[in-house]
């Protein structure tokens, strides 16, 4: 890998192809068939600093509403390799309302007080004062390492109804006002922002937004390489992400989108001008993915996927954590979607999904897992279905 300085003084990773061709930066990186990382001399990406928080390796677990709760974070931690974990997004006004009316806090903050650091809690809303108040409480009562602000959510309930999330990308000044206020109230705890490239393809404004974010005092910027209009269609545009880097004076740039293997993690660090990466969907049924990425980035042998039996045991541990918190009925219901993620892409996943989608008791869940969770034997799941 070749590195050179940008105007902003940061280390720029100039993309060189594995075969030593001319430097090239491509935005269709995810479609490349990559050589195994073992063939490549890897320079481990240095840790990043978000305020005073050291993130090593610079590989972050993304916030995902409905998924990245305490149980999931625990599973990721067990395998290791993740530099920073994040909660699901928490609505600031919802937090305040719950607290004032029920003296309770959102379920989404389950475990936050007790688990290891560093840990980021993500909040969303559009009222600077409310967000500042909630940010302060997260710092004081929960002792969070980082308060992250969501400016990327494209879901209508958040954008059209609440004029928050990615809606705010069209009004960078408002974003700046929110960040400034939250930074003031959380200091010295760092505040970060997560954005998309823009609202729509013809209104990509990530470079302008990035400068507002840094100017308002944020300590890092994460960019999902799609617009809000894209939702999850197409490919994340890593070229656009890395174009932002020269415009940031000192805060780290974290790229996000479509990373689903150790090879791709190595590849984006090699090709693009980024300081860190964030992984979302691909880790849902594969909490060991971070350990694989960390190994590849450090040039160590990449641990193989756990056996299917080990994956099943991992899922059952996840289940115990969820049921321990939410009770059998709600816990089992919640676990259905995770169970589908664990089975996804494995032989027999379709049958497993069909059966697990209907379970509502612990006994039912364990029975379906026993009968239909994908096994090493290619035919076993389908044979059982035929026999039943």
The candidate with the shortest Cα–Cα distance to 120, out of 180, 41, 61, is: 61
Judged by CB under 6 A, does residue 199 bind ligand FMN? no
Judged by CB under 6 A, does residue 150 bind ligand FMN? yes
C-beta closer to ligand FMN: residue 209 or 308: 209
Judged by CB under 6 A, does residue 122 bind ligand FMN? yes
Judged by CB under 6 A, does residue 88 bind ligand FMN? yes
The binder of ligand FMN chosen from 77, 136, 235, 281 (CB under 6 A):
281
Q: Which of the stretches 72-80, 279-287, 289-297, 356-364 binds ligand FMN when contact is defined by CB under 6 A?
A: 279-287
Judged by CB under 6 A, does residue 257 bind ligand FMN? yes
Find all residues with CB under 8 Å of 383, minimum gap 6, and list them.
none
| Contact (CB, 8 A) for 18 and 42 | no
The binder of ligand FMN chosen from 223, 259, 289, 343 (CB under 6 A):
259
C-beta closer to ligand FMN: residue 126 or 256: 256
Judged by CB under 6 A, does residue 65 bind ligand FMN? yes
**CA–CA distances in Å: residue 65 to residues 1, 29, 58:** 36, 27, 22
* 344 CB-contact burial (10 Å; exposed 0-12 / middle 13-18 / buried 19+): middle
Q: Which of the stretches 175-183, 208-216, 252-260, 379-387 binds ligand FMN when contact is defined by CB under 6 A?
A: 252-260
Judged by CB under 6 A, does residue 152 bind ligand FMN? yes
The binder of ligand FMN chosen from 89, 179, 219, 369 (CB under 6 A):
89
Judged by CB under 6 A, does residue 255 bind ligand FMN? no
Query: What sign does the CA torsion over 343, 349, 350, 352 have?
Result: negative
- Minimum CB distance to ligand FMN, residue 240 (Å): 14
With CB under 6 A as the rule, give the number of residues binding ligand FMN: 22
Q: Which helix (H) or strand (E) holds 223?
A: strand 221-224
Judged by CB under 6 A, does residue 280 bind ligand FMN? yes
C-beta closer to ligand FMN: residue 45 or 257: 257
Render 354-386 in DSSP notation, one character per residue: HHHTT--SHHHHHHHHHHHS--SSTTHHHHHHH
Q: What is the largest CA-CA distance in the chain?
A: 67
Q: Which of the stretches 156-164, 172-180, 273-281, 372-380 binds ligand FMN when contact is defined by CB under 6 A?
A: 273-281
Judged by CB under 6 A, does residue 256 bind ligand FMN? yes
Q: In this structure, what DSSP letter does residue 204 have?
A: B
Q: Which of the stretches 42-50, 250-258, 264-272, 318-326 binds ligand FMN when contact is defined by CB under 6 A?
A: 250-258
Apex CA 67: angle with CA 265 and CA 60, to 5°?
Answer: 30
Catalytic residue list:
153
- Minimum CB distance to ligand FMN, residue 194 (Å): 5
* 106 CB-contact burial (10 Å; exposed 0-12 / middle 13-18 / buried 19+): middle
Judged by CB under 6 A, does residue 61 bind ligand FMN? no
C-beta closer to ligand FMN: residue 30 or 308: 30
The candidate with the shortest Cα–Cα distance to 294, out of 42, 70, 10, is: 42
Other beta carbons within 10 angstroms of residue 157's beta carbon come to 10
| Contact (CB, 8 A) for 84 and 118 | yes
C-beta closer to ligand FMN: residue 2 or 357: 357
Judged by CB under 6 A, does residue 76 bind ligand FMN? no
What is the Cα–Cα distance from 64 to 304, expressed in whole angstroms? 25
Find all residues with CB under 8 Å of 156, minimum gap 6, and list them.
none
The binder of ligand FMN chosen from 64, 71, 120, 193 (CB under 6 A):
64
Other beta carbons within 10 angstroms of residue 267's beta carbon come to 24
The binder of ligand FMN chosen from 51, 57, 63, 331 (CB under 6 A):
63
- What is the binding site for ligand FMN (CB under 6 A)? 62-67, 88-89, 122, 150, 152-153, 194, 224, 256-259, 279-282
């Amino acid at each position: 890998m070749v590195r050179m300085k940008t105007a902003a003084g940061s280390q720029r990773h100039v993309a060189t192809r594995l075969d030593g061709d001319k430097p090239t930066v491509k935005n269709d990186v995810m479609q490349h068939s990559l050589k195994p990382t073992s063939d490549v001399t890897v320079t481990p990406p240095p840790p990043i600093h978000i305020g005073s928080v050291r993130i090593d390796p610079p590989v972050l677990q993304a916030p995902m509403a409905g998924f990245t709760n305490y149980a999931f974070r625990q599973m990721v931690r067990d395998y290791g390799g993740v530099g920073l974990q994040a909660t699901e997004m928490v609505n600031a006004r919802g937090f305040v309302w719950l607290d004032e009316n029920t003296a309770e806090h959102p379920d989404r903050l389950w475990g936050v007080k007790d688990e290891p650091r560093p840990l980021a809690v993500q909040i969303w809303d559009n009222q600077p004062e409310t967000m500042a108040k909630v940010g302060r409480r997260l710092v004081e009562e929960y002792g969070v390492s980082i308060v992250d602000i969501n400016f990327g959510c494209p879901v209508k309930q958040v954008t059209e109804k609440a004029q928050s999330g990615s809606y705010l990308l069209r009004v960078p000044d408002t974003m700046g006002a929110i960040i400034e206020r939250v930074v003031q109230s959380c200091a010295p705890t760092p505040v970060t922002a997560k954005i998309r490239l823009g609202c729509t393809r013809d209104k990509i404004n990530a470079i302008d937004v990035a400068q507002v974010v840094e100017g308002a005092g944020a300590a890092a910027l994460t960019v999902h390489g799609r617009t809000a209009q894209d939702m999850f269609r197409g490919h994340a545009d890593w070229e656009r992400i890395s174009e932002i880097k020269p415009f940031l004076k000192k805060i780290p740039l974290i790229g996000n989108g479509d990373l689903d293997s150790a090879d791709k993690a190595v590849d984006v660090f090699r090709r693009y001008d980024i300081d860190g990466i964030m992984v979302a969907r691909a880790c849902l049924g594969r909490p060991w993915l971070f350990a694989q990425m960390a190994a590849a980035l450090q040039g160590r042998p990449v641990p193989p996927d756990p056996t299917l039996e080990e994956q099943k045991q991992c899922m059952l541990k996840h289940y115990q954590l969820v049921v321990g918190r939410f009770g059998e009925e709600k816990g089992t219901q919640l676990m259905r979607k995770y169970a589908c993620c664990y089975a996804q892409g494995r032989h027999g996943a379709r049958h497993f999904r069909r059966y697990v989608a209907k379970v509502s008791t612990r006994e039912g869940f364990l029975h379906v897992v026993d009968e239909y969770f994908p096994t090493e034997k290619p035919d076993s799941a389908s044979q059982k279905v035929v026999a039943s």
